[in-house]
Amino acid sequence: MTNENRCVLVTGGSRGLGLGLVSDLLGQGYAVATCSRASGAAIAALQARHGDGRLFWAACRIGDEADEENYFANVDAWVGRRSFYGLVNNAGIAVEGILATFPTIETERIIAVNLLGAIRMARLALRRLLASRMGGRIVNISSIIGSRGYTGLAAYSASKAGLDGLTRSLAREVGRRAITVNSVAPGYLETEMSATLAPRQQQQIVNRTPLGRLGRVDDVVPAIRFLLSDEAQFITGQTLVIDGGVTC
């Protein structure tokens, strides 16, 4: 099956890694559905550039079950004769704060978006993948913080560690149906999220990185592209770390 007949859904596709991935997959010929809370100029530019109907965007609040189900119904209507092929659980939020004084409402919001939302999106995707009997791909965007931790990001770390656990268990559940499930765990990237770090914190991270810099979106996108491809059909249940050597 050619990429033109495959639909990949990328959550959180309006900026950062998600936006870079959406643009790349369109360039690879995939039909791409994406969502975010708001569209933004970058998504509008991609829609204008790809006027062939291969890009679908609609607002969706990941972490809100009704929104997630409604969004998938809209994707179903858009997919048409194409095959629903893959899901990239990219949407996520990070709020920094020491756990002893961290508000419960913020903890619940992080878990709702980063973990519960990803679990529900995977469930909705699997219902379609299993029904099609044609296999498929799920890629969860985790983080090295899920395995290594970081001061002030306890709830975020827990949510990302949960994603890696989800990856391993789902890989066992659906492997016999030719559906692979993997995680990609980036290190510290030059995105809006890392921009909130003080210059001193950023420099400390760079100093601890053997390759001597923060990661870029272009460092991570090819790995996700590979895991979605036919060449990765015998890779499942794995977490691929892309961090410039921080965790080596």
156 is catalytic: yes
Q: Is 242 exposed, middle or buried (0-12, 13-18, 19+ CB in 10 A)?
A: middle
| Residue reference for tokens 């991935």 | 21
Nearest alpha-carbon partner for 184 in 148, 227, 147: 227
β-bridge partners, 6: 83
Nearest alpha-carbon partner for 114 in 145, 147, 92, 142: 92
E strands in 142-245? 179-186, 239-242
- For residue 2 the two structure tokens come to 């050619």
Give the distance from CA 241 to its chain's centroid: 14
Please report which helix (H) or strand (E) contains residue 71, including its range: helix 65-79
Exactly one of 30, 85, 156, 188 is catalytic; name it.
156
- Catalytic positions are 156
